Amino acid sequence: MSATAEQTTPTEPAPPVFSLQLNQDQKDIREWVHGFAEGVVRPAAHEWDEREETPWPVIREAAKIGLYSYEALAQFYGDESGLTLPIVNEELFWGDAGIGMAIMGTSLAVAAIFGQGTGEQIGEWIPRCFGTVEEPQVAAFCSSEPDAGSDVSAIRTSARYDEAKDEWVLNGQKAWATNGGIAGVHVIIASVDRELGARGHAAFVVPPGTKGLEQGAKAKKHGLRASHTADVHLDDCRVPGSCLLGGKEKLDERLARAREGTGGRSQAALQTFEATRPSVGAQALGIARAAYEFALDYAREREQFGRKIIENQAIAFALADMKLEIDAARLLVWRASWMGRNGVPFQNAEGSMSKLKAGEVALWASERAMHILGGNGYTREYPVERWHRDAKIYTIFEGTSEIQRLVISRAISGVQIR
């Protein structure tokens, strides 16, 4: 019996146990996703990176084997240890981050619906985010705007309630939305009361084919090029009252509390980001591990000055540091994921810590890997330069590294650091 368990009084529920020992289910899922990443994703990675298009054939393959489905996501999330979701993300993104994001981008919208929707909304909209096996769909989560990236409180997209018709009318422009415009279901963060900043925000589902929602410019990107990123325009886009996540009564209560100054910290976009950060960290880990493994194999083979380059401490120590940092980042990711799943409060912004560390490790390790490959590392004949391009986004989206440091420093100090 552990010390913690001995201290538990009979009336208290047992505290959740954190263990690094994977059970058979977790191992089987890891092997299954790795097999898909190795056999299907990796061979397709270069082509879709060059085409800069959504890899629908790969998404269809993932749907066919049940990997891209709400049932699979529910199973991954259902693991009480919280470890299955980061394991799946790491393996898939080890295969390729662009294709990985084309498959997993939907989960950000799913997280928003799951975190903020009523039971009925969850049941209705989450399956529709994925479409069917025959005709899979992707979903988009649209928070960022041209003038509201890190500063989520500056969102200008407005939501006005038309009481006579019981409809919400959305107007504004979203920027950088993964799957924006090509998605079936879009989740839109909009301001219901601008004076309340982020506390006046609410999340809305826009059903497939709704008039008034149009794709804007598609971004041509440095990395993650198999994942579609675009602006989304909302022009008198009307959705039924039932598309407000959480419902109107809950929103009205929340707004009233915020106006009285007694409101909690419930903020539509920020809640979603906090819940998804460990998974995003796990994606970065997948890239870091891919780069590390490739560089290790290369260093064992490549000869200069009559010996393998790994025999030089400069190379071997770099690889040792890469392995060390990747494992350290994984521990932070798993801890945060376990805490999130078990309702253990993030008192020191552990979610942000995990994403910050994993993102920076991925960028650093992929750059080291490129260096170990020398000239080959810099060419598109080898995948390492792609991994480095892909890794960079992990210090930018879902909160830049500076924003993660802001969240952590505020959490540890209680001071409103700027």
Ligand X SMILES: Cc1cc2nc3c(=O)[nH]c(=O)nc-3n(C[C@H](O)[C@H](O)[C@H](O)COP(=O)(O)OP(=O)(O)OC[C@H]3O[C@@H](n4cnc5c(N)ncnc54)[C@H](O)[C@@H]3O)c2cc1C
Would you tell me which residues interact with ligand X (CB under 6 A)? 108, 141-144, 149-150, 176-178, 221, 224, 229, 393, 396-398, 400, 402-403, 406
* Phi and psi at residue 217, to the nearest 5°: -65, 140
The dihedral over CA atoms of 299, 284, 125, 176, expressed in degrees to the nearest 10, equals -110
Which residues have a catalytic role annotated?
398
Shortest gap between Cβ of 285 and ligand X (angstroms)?
Answer: 18
Shortest gap between Cβ of 105 and ligand X (angstroms)?
Answer: 7
Shortest gap between Cβ of 176 and ligand X (angstroms)?
Answer: 4
Shortest gap between Cβ of 132 and ligand X (angstroms)?
Answer: 23
In sequence order, the 6+-apart residues with CB closer than 8 A to the CB of 246 are: 116, 117, 118, 121, 202, 203
Q: Which is nearer to ligand X, 28 or 214 (CB)?
A: 214
In sequence order, the 6+-apart residues with CB closer than 8 A to the CB of 306 are: none
Q: Which is nearer to ligand X, 26 or 158 (CB)?
A: 158
Shortest gap between Cβ of 108 and ligand X (angstroms)?
Answer: 6
Q: Which is nearer to ligand X, 312 or 401 (CB)?
A: 401
C-alpha span between 251 and 262 (Å, rounded): 14
The dihedral over CA atoms of 72, 64, 283, 277, expressed in degrees to the nearest 10, equals -40
Q: Considering only CA atoms, which of 82, 113, 138, 105 is closest in space to residue 350? A: 82
Shortest gap between Cβ of 371 and ligand X (angstroms)?
Answer: 24
Q: Which is nearer to ligand X, 70 or 141 (CB)?
A: 141
In sequence order, the 6+-apart residues with CB closer than 8 A to the CB of 194 are: 156, 158, 200
Shortest gap between Cβ of 227 and ligand X (angstroms)?
Answer: 7
C-alpha span between 233 and 214 (Å, rounded): 5
Q: Which is nearer to ligand X, 237 or 406 (CB)?
A: 406
b/e 270-308 (16+ beta carbons within 10 angstroms → b): bbbbbbbbbbbbbbbbbbbbbbbbbbbebbeeeeeeeee
Which residue's beta carbon is nearest to the bound ligand X? 149
Q: Which is nearer to ligand X, 33 or 112 (CB)?
A: 112
Q: Which is nearer to ligand X, 277 or 335 (CB)?
A: 277
Shortest gap between Cβ of 140 and ligand X (angstroms)?
Answer: 6
Q: Which is nearer to ligand X, 198 or 318 (CB)?
A: 198
